[in-house]
Amino acid sequence: MSTSLSEAVRSAYQWSTGSCFRCGAEGVEVAELGPIGPAEQEIVLFACADCLATLEADRETAARRAGVPYIPGGVIPR
């Protein structure tokens, strides 16, 4: 299991076993990122811990550049 995720990030998501949309890993622990796409063709994305760490690190960097607070758990805005 990855140790690269902080508890704040880990607890911001629901975890299950599945496949990662980003790296294609299957049968791994994945976080539910949320639905994307139009209502009729909506798909739910899941990312493994390593990919989620990358996605959240990108968000943290973007938030710092924009001068806004970084809040874990918003890879896909609701």
Q: Which residues contribute to the site for Zn ion (CB under 5 A)?
A: 20, 22-23, 25, 48, 51
- Least CB distance from residue 50 to Zn ion, whole Å? 6
Secondary structure (3-state) at 7: helix
Q: Counting Cβ atoms within 10 Å, is residue 29 exposed (0-12), middle (13-18) or buried (19+)? A: middle
Please give the Cα distance from 68 to 13 (Å, whole number): 21
- Least CB distance from residue 77 to Zn ion, whole Å? 20
Which of 25, 45 has the CB closer to Zn ion? 25
Which of 20, 66 has the CB closer to Zn ion? 20
Which of 65, 75 has the CB closer to Zn ion? 75
